[in-house]
Amino acid sequence: MAEVTAYRLERAVAIISFANPPVNGLSHAVRAGIATALERAQADPSARAIVLTGAGGLFSAGADIREFGTPASTADPTLRQLIDLVETSAKPVIAAIAGTCLGGGLELALGAHYRVASSDARLGLPEVKLGLLPGAGGTQRLPRLVGVERAIDMIVSGEPVPATALADTALLDLVVDGDPLAGAVELAASARVAPKPPPRTRDIPLVEPSLAALCEAARTRLKAERPPLPAPMRAVDVIAATNGTFDEGLALERRAFLELMETPESKGLRHAFLAERAAGKVDGITPATPVRPLDQAAVIGAGTMGAGIAVALLDAGIPLWLVEADQAALDRGLARIAGIYDAQVTKGKLTATERDRRFALLRPTLSYEAIGQADVAIEAVFESLEVKREVFLALDRVMKPGAILATNTSTLDVNTIAGFTQRPSDMLGLHFFSPAHVMRLLEVVRGRATAPEVLATGLKLGKTLRKVAVVSGVCDGFIGNRMLEAYTRQAWYLVEEGATPQQIDRAVESFGFAMGPFRVGDLVGHDVSLAIRERRRAERPGYLCSTLPDKLCRLERLGQKTGAGWYDYPEGPRRPASSAAVEELITAHRAEIGVSSRHIDDSEIVDRLVYALVNEGARILEEGIATRAGDIDVVYLTGYGFPRARGGPMFHAEQAGWRQVLQRVREFARNPHGDPAFWTPAPLLERLAGS
């Protein structure tokens, strides 16, 4: 195994550098290596001071996630022990911080006696994002260096802060442009450091008369968050203890960390984190799989999706041709893109120069002949097989050999579309979510003939666009929308039986969804889903689905775009109000189908909706449409507003217990007004419940 730490002397300073690509995670080998090097430096008569630095242009992003849950993660020296060694070192230790310095990486630096950072370094304690708090002294040391208020901000938000914003605090002794190592050695060799006993962070008295008030204000803010999560609250409690002795604070932090490890929220968040990382791993794709270039792109169709996809590509610096059917549509598309960028400039998120630079990468055209040299063509025209056929015949004719052909279809068969071309192995689906330049999810759809390197290139494009790419097989709706269909169908059944759209939305929003199904429906527009339902009724004999949403469409209540849907919007799109017309519609519909309404508990609402997702998810998994349960969770977390702290539908079901889920599914199947076929348990669900 390669050495993970290196030791050298420069101007009577021992430089200890550690390396563990890609992010210098503090693995057991790294911790042990640093501890040994520290010992060597203590004993080295030629070393007056010690500089600690990460290799490869960054300090450390914290724990090594590859060690999570293994004995190595808790083996001696633990991070706490290592930090103690640093802090109690008889010779001064200076941390030289470049690039990323997060979590345990920052806690290690907090234990040093001085810190020098490069101006582009980013420092933070993101543990709350995993439902935890900094467990190696961060809650006690950071407030002593940056003050209580800033420490609360950093620990409770988990967001990294640029070094330049911390330059005025005792956290950073020096901020330099470029490599901080030279500055750190300079400081280490200077009179400021050498003759004095090293100042220890733990010994800094915390003088903050408003500690209690600041903590109370933070608690009030956190209580208002939905759903309230335990980790940030516990973090504030532990920060509040900085008025006691350092060791008491450290002990409290430890207890809180261990308690949080066992909370369902932390388990959900950690699962979400690991599942996102695992999603990139796909059968048949290895690091050795070649990827094709992605230097220039073409987007066909400049409507809602095409414009958003174009912006996502331009944001990543990829020049592109934008193709439309006629000049008027092209002008509208360009105006849409300009609108997105202008709004960003107005909000101060983008400079006018940067907007102009991105816009200059855009080449609008009406001619397919112009786009033949693009490395990838992404189609986002109307959802009609006939229109798509025309487009792919044209693409097949003009695109250079090896170009990747992609469709953004939501519901059409990617294999059929690939069949319009003479090169189905170059074809895949790239299913973006609206707004395409904002939403993190990208379903990469693997067709029957898609070549491994085409799939690998699709995944690479996802990474380039900073999206979370999940591979899906071909089926109606792919992973996300296929599950959504089951969920929405169930939501309409709940209304037929007695719940109101408001009650259902409130129940799932209390569960933690960003938005309930009826508000989502109003946002997306009901005409699109009506067309899909009509197609399904025609294609699938025996397909059962409430006719209630069809009746809503007949009232011209198509959602926010017509100013009315399941809700009225007298005060604008953010303020849905209940609608007398919809209440009447629902009452008449129940009478027509012969259902007398009953009271339905919120818990039944949530279980029916979430288990509808789970049962369909189990089928998707079994059919091999999704590779692993975690991929399904990632789709729901990043594309559908499922509460992250619950880890996604499949993880949630596993935590509830498969047997319990199956029992509920069987109960729902016995509902006299239910759709028993809907609740046929997926064979995989039965197997999991049995095992």
Ligand X SMILES: NC(=O)c1ccc[n+]([C@@H]2O[C@H](COP(=O)([O-])OP(=O)(O)OC[C@H]3O[C@@H](n4cnc5c(N)ncnc54)[C@H](O)[C@@H]3O)[C@@H](O)[C@H]2O)c1
Q: For binding to ligand X (CB under 6 A), which residues are involved?
A: 300-306, 323-325, 329, 333, 380-383, 387, 390-391, 408-410, 432, 434
Strand partners, 537: none
Q: Please, which residue, 265 or 443, has the CB nearer to ligand X?
A: 443
What one-character DSSP code corresponds to residue 60? Answer: B
Shortest approach of ligand X to residue 292 CB, angstroms? Answer: 23
The Cα–Cα gap between 509 and 491 comes to 13
Q: Which of 47, 87, 64 is nearest to 4 (CA)?
A: 64
Q: Please, which residue, 285 or 403, has the CB nearer to ligand X?
A: 403
Shortest approach of ligand X to residue 306 CB, angstroms? Answer: 6
Shortest approach of ligand X to residue 366 CB, angstroms? Answer: 9
Is there a catalytic annotation at residue 262? no
Q: Which of 127, 324, 453, 497 is catalytic?
A: 127
* DSSP letters spanning 128-191: GGGT---TTTHHHHHHHHH-HHHHHHHHHH---EEHHHHTTSTT-SEEESS-HHHHHHHHHHST
Q: Which of 149, 144, 177 is nearest to 163 (CA)?
A: 177
Q: Please, which residue, 434 or 603, has the CB nearer to ligand X?
A: 434
Shortest approach of ligand X to residue 433 CB, angstroms? Answer: 6
Spatial contact of 575 and 569, defined as CB atoms under 8 Å apart: yes
Shortest approach of ligand X to residue 441 CB, angstroms? Answer: 10
Give the pair of three-digit tokens for residue 672: 């006299």
Q: Please, which residue, 185 or 299, has the CB nearer to ligand X?
A: 299
Spatial contact of 186 and 126, defined as CB atoms under 8 Å apart: no
Residue-wise burial string across 401-428, b where 16 or more C-beta atoms lie within 10 A, e elsewhere: eebbbbbbbbbbbbbebbbbbebbebbb
Q: Please, which residue, 409 or 490, has the CB nearer to ligand X?
A: 409
CB neighbours of residue 204 within 10 Å: 14
Q: Please, which residue, 88 or 367, has the CB nearer to ligand X?
A: 367
Q: Please, which residue, 203 or 326, has the CB nearer to ligand X?
A: 326
Q: What 3-state DSSP class applies to 543?
A: coil
Shortest approach of ligand X to residue 470 CB, angstroms? Answer: 14
Q: Please, which residue, 129 or 533, has the CB nearer to ligand X?
A: 533
* DSSP letters spanning 408-437: --SSS-HHHHHHTSS-GGGEEEEEE-SSTT
User: In Å, what is the CA distance from 446 to each residue of 15, 457, 470, 487?
Assistant: 49, 12, 10, 24
Is there a catalytic annotation at residue 127? yes
Give the pair of three-digit tokens for residue 559: 């959602």
Q: Please, what is the angle between helix 230-240 and helix 246-261, to 10°?
A: 170
Q: Which of 10, 87, 107, 539 is catalytic?
A: 107
Shortest approach of ligand X to residue 365 CB, angstroms? Answer: 10
The Cα–Cα gap between 463 and 203 comes to 45
CB neighbours of residue 585 within 10 Å: 18
Shortest approach of ligand X to residue 302 CB, angstroms? Answer: 5
- Tell the residue number behind the tokens 């239910």, with chain if given: 674
Nearest-CB residue to ligand X? Answer: 303
User: What residues are annotated to the active site?
Assistant: 107, 127
